[in-house]
A and B are shown apart, each in its own frame.
Chain A
Amino acid sequence: MRIIEEIGKVYLKKGLPEFRVGDTLKVHVKIREGEKERLQAFTGQVIGRKGSGVNASATLRKISYGEGVERVFLLNSPMIARIEVAKREPVRRAKLYYTREKTGGKTR
């Protein structure tokens, strides 16, 4: 196990902000369009965190034009340029999957 962690260490990112399930994050993702590269932000509530070390990921959910959109981010991916914590929100669950069944104003 130790050897496997060592392999992942190279890819670990420094300066990842501390955040918890329930917080709202703004994730700046690198998007490649042909030769050009630009940043696109995805803002959403963290509804779950998974994995450790290089495998760590977070599931973000947001409501886009009335439609629920979820995206899983590998936190240590080089495609993620920056992560900002937009809002802190204490919750009492480790996973907020129940928000999928609620829509509109009830998501809070």
Chain B
Amino acid sequence: MKKYKMGLLGKKLGMTQIFTDDGKAVQVTVVQAGPCTIVQLKSGNAGAYHALQLGFEAGKAKSLTKPLQGHFAKAGTPPFKFLREVRVSGDEFKNYAAGQVIGAAIFEEGDFVDVSGISKGKGYAGVIKRHHFHGFGASHGTHEYFRHGGSIGQHSFPGRVFKGVGMAGQLGNARATVQNLEIVKVIGDKNLLLIGGAVPGANGSYLVIKKAIKKRTRAERK
């Protein structure tokens, strides 16, 4: 059975390092994770689908479209800048109510999380940067062919280029997820998470932080 794990919305603040008790330095990303307000409870598909619609960072109503303004007015919450759905299991779904505010405290130190965000845009990038091609040697008479991709196929058979061949194009500025990052520290009163390692996106960009789908939480491991 597929598991749906609870998550939060957040904002990447930046990276720093802290020291563990045994003196090791750990690189961490500081994430403002919450407070998130449950704007809407969603369920459907004959009870097979349960999700919480979360809102993060209140903004101005006038910067939203009329339909969204109406959506927030109906929910009775302030207009949020970042609105995303987090799918949860049916059992967990019962514990939540619309209008409820959740924060970083749903995570524990030692938990693993999957973090999604919009990666930094690198523009139109060549194959070396985008697909880690090796390029060509600069000697042996190579002429204007240092960073090209080389051949993209065979001959009149198959007579076409196979799908998935690496070529130049837009790199970054797309949704990216990093899985299994450890939560090094939770600062519950300020809703801050210190997540070991790097997460996608620039500082100040929005993130979705979910409990890791491939790992169990500390409470579940016991």
Contacts and interface: CB of A to CB of B under 8 A. Distances in A.
A34 B59 CA distance: 55
Contacts, number: 39
Interface in B1-49: 13-19, 23, 25, 30, 32
B23 A77 contact: yes
A55 B16 contact: yes
B112 to A, nearest CB: 21
Contact of A3 (B17, B18, B19, B192): B192
B192 A8 contact: no
Tell me which of B23, B192, B194 has the highest count of chain A C-beta atoms within 10 A of its own C-beta: B23
Contacts of A77: 19, 23, 25
Nearest to A3: B13
A4 B16 contact: yes
Interface in A1-44: 1, 3-4, 7-8, 10-11, 30
A11 B194 CA distance: 15
A4 B30 contact: yes
B19 A78 contact: yes
B14 A1 contact: yes
B17 A54 contact: yes
A74 B25 contact: yes
Interface residues of B, number: 15
Nearest to B194: A7
Given A3-B30, A3-B192, A78 B23 contact: yes
A3 B25 CA distance: 19
A4 B12 CA distance: 11
A78 to B, nearest CB: 5
Contact of A11 (B19, B30, B190): B19
A79 B19 CA distance: 10
A79 B23 contact: yes
A55 B14 CA distance: 13
A76 B32 CA distance: 25
A96 B194 CA distance: 35
A76 B194 CA distance: 19
Nearest to B27: A55
A8 B23 CA distance: 14
Contact of B23 (A7, A30, A54, A55): A30
Nearest to A2: B13
A107 B154 CA distance: 60
Given A3-B30, A3-B192, A78-B23, A54 B18 contact: yes
Interface of B: 13-19, 23, 25, 30, 32, 187, 190, 192, 194
Nearest first, the 8 A-B pairs at minimum CB distance are A79-B23, A78-B23, A4-B14, A4-B16, A11-B19, A4-B30, A78-B19, A8-B16
21 contacts: A1-B14, A3-B13, A3-B30, A3-B32, A3-B192, A4-B13, A4-B16, A7-B16, A7-B18, A7-B30, A8-B16, A8-B18, A10-B18, A11-B18, A11-B19, A30-B23, A53-B16, A54-B18, A76-B19, A77-B19, A79-B23
